[in-house]
């Protein structure tokens, strides 16, 4: 497998964790989002959306981090599953993940921030206010969800990492990078710390990737 990724892309970070958790080997090719390599013809051929990650498996190129994670579970069911349990439990794992993958990440994505500054003329302070606002809006809701769990669990949705934790850790990394006060979210912060003890998460860290 080849993973076209970029050290600072949190969508790519999710897929690195997913591949590591499932114990699948992969080669990495860095597509530099800062110098614009994602807009080059060679990358558009891989992904018309000009985004990372792209996972190539048996010559087929797959896009969208959540779709790739689901694919890994379906194509490689013999290794540790990212979604587990009943249909309801799986729906809860997906919903937790999608709250981050839909409601925080795309709104705070690099291209959106660049558009805010370039096309909308928003200044640096307001850009930062925007960034924090969308993290707080959803983290507040997720912290509430964790508080209301029927029983204390080690990870977002149970006692093993799931697709939810795969999304949480890169989002907390971004929050820390932009100095969001994580003391407001003690349950999220504790789960993040617990994940970072696990090799699959540790090895996926942005600082350890090609091009970092």
DSSP three-state, residue 29: strand
Q: At closest approach, how far in Å is the CB of 6 from a second copy?
A: 16
138-157 positions binding a second copy, by CB under 8 A = 138, 140-142, 144-145, 148
Q: At closest approach, how far in Å is the CB of 207 from a second copy?
A: 25
Answer for which of 10, 20, 28, 64 binds a second copy (CB under 8 A) is 64
Answer for which of 106, 114, 176, 196 binds a second copy (CB under 8 A) is 106
Burial label, 13 (beta-carbon count in 10 A; 0-12, 13-18, 19+):
buried
Q: Give the Cα separation of 13 and 65 in Å (integer).
A: 9
Stretch that binds a second copy, among 26-34, 100-108, 154-162, 181-189 (CB under 8 A): 100-108
Q: Give the Cα separation of 89 and 84 in Å (integer).
A: 7
Choice between 143 and 160, CB closer to a second copy: 143
Question: Using the rule CB under 8 A, is 94 a contact of a second copy?
Answer: yes
DSSP 81-147: -SS-SSHHHHHHHHHHHHHHHHHTGGGG-HHHHHHHHHTT---HHHHHHHHHHHHHHHHHHHHHHHH
Q: At closest approach, how far in Å is the CB of 178 from a second copy?
A: 17
Q: Give the Cα separation of 38 and 54 in Å (integer).
A: 11
Question: Using the rule CB under 8 A, is 14 a contact of a second copy?
Answer: no
Answer for which of 1, 2, 30, 107 binds a second copy (CB under 8 A) is 107
Q: Give the Cα separation of 93 and 87 in Å (integer).
A: 10
Of 150, 151, 165, 159, which is closest to residue 196 (Cα–Cα)?
Answer: 165
Question: Using the rule CB under 8 A, is 71 a contact of a second copy?
Answer: yes
Long-range Cβ pairs for the range 32-36 (8 Å, 24+): 32/6, 32/211, 33/6, 33/8, 33/9, 33/110, 34/8
Question: Using the rule CB under 8 A, is 98 a contact of a second copy?
Answer: yes
Stretch that binds a second copy, among 35-43, 83-91, 166-174, 192-200 (CB under 8 A): 83-91
Question: How many CB atoms lie under 10 A from the CB of residue 101?
Answer: 23
Choice between 92 and 192, CB closer to a second copy: 92
Question: Using the rule CB under 8 A, is 87 a contact of a second copy?
Answer: yes
Task: Report the interface residues with a second copy, using CB under 8 A.
Answer: 48-51, 60, 62-64, 66-68, 70-71, 74-75, 87-88, 90-92, 94-95, 98-99, 101-103, 105-107, 112, 115-116, 119-120, 122, 126, 129-130, 133, 138, 140-142, 144-145, 148
């Amino acid at each position: 497998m080849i993973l076209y990724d970029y050290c600072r892309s949190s969508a790519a970070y999710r897929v690195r964790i997913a591949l590591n958790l499932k114990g699948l080997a992969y080669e990495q090719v860095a597509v530099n989002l800062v110098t614009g390599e994602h807009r080059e013809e060679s990358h558009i051929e891989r992904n018309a959306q000009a985004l990372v990650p792209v996972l190539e498996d048996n010559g087929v190129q797959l896009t969208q981090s959540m779709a790739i994670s689901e694919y890994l579970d379906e194509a490689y069911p013999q290794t540790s599953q990212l979604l587990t349990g009943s249909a309801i439990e799986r729906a809860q794992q997906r919903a937790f993940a999608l709250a981050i993958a839909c409601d925080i990440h795309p709104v705070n994505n690099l291209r959106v921030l660049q558009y805010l500054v370039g096309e909308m003329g928003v200044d640096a302070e307001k850009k930062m206010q925007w960034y924090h606002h969308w993290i707080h809006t959803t983290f507040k809701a997720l912290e509430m969800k964790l508080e209301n769990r029927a029983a204390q669990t080690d990870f977002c949705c149970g006692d093993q990492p799931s697709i939810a934790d795969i999304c949480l850790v890169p989002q907390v990394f971004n929050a820390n990078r932009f100095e969001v006060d994580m003391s407001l979210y003690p349950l999220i912060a504790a789960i993040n710390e617990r994940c970072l003890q696990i090799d699959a998460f540790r090895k996926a860290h942005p600082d350890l990737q090609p091009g970092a």
